[in-house]
Amino acid sequence: MFSKATEYALRATIYIAKKSTTEKKIGIEEIAKAIDSPPSFTAKILQALTKDNKIVSSSRGPNGGFFMTEKAKRLPVRSILLAMGEDEVLEKCVLGLKLCSEVQPCPMHAQYKTIKQQLIKLFVQKTIQQLADATKDGEVFITNKKLVVKK
């Protein structure tokens, strides 16, 4: 559905929202390890999300790293897609037709529309914070490492 870059952006943001406060910042190494992504590439992506401090904030130097303000954590997940320039995925015609619309629908338009609406609703209603909180319970995960089941 999304590009690798956007997948990393989503996972990284959730991780930062979960682990950071304005006081406590998280380094790129830790982030990349936690979400199983290439560190340098992930750094590039976070740079983009840090533009204008829109979603992620950062500071350099010792004890520097990435963090999110409480306000940013309350942003809808969709804002990550927008920042990554991949919001279009949620809107576009499943057959790739530029002019597909109510006026000139493709043969999948009517049925696909209802699914798209749910997708958009999901990304608009869920906040980054909500996803981060879910991982705190230890019942949902953003790692690729296999869980060790407790006896």
Least separation in angstroms between residue 63's CB and a second copy is 28
Q: Which of 24, 44, 51, 92 binds a second copy (CB under 8 A)?
A: 92
Residue 63: which region, alpha, beta or left (left: phi > 0; alpha: psi -120 to 50)? Answer: left
Query: Which CB atom, from 4 or from 121, has the smaller least distance to DNA?
Result: 4
Interface with a second copy by CB under 8 A: which range of 38-46, 51-59, 66-74, 127-135? 127-135
**19 lines the binding site for a second copy (CB under 8 A):** no
Q: Is 6 helix (H, G, I), strand (E, B) or coil?
A: helix
39 binds, among a second copy, DNA, none (CB under 5 to 8 A by kind): DNA
**148 lines the binding site for a second copy (CB under 8 A):** no
Q: Where are the beta strands (DSSP E) in 8-112?
A: 57-59, 65-67
Contacts of 102 (CB under 8 A, 6+ apart): 109
What whole-number distance in Å separates Cα of residue 110 and Cα of residue 112?
6
Count of residues that bind DNA according to CB under 7 A: 28
Q: Which of 23, 52, 99, 150 binds a second copy (CB under 8 A)?
A: 99
Least separation in angstroms between residue 17's CB and a second copy is 10
User: How many CB atoms lie under 10 A from the CB of residue 69?
Assistant: 15
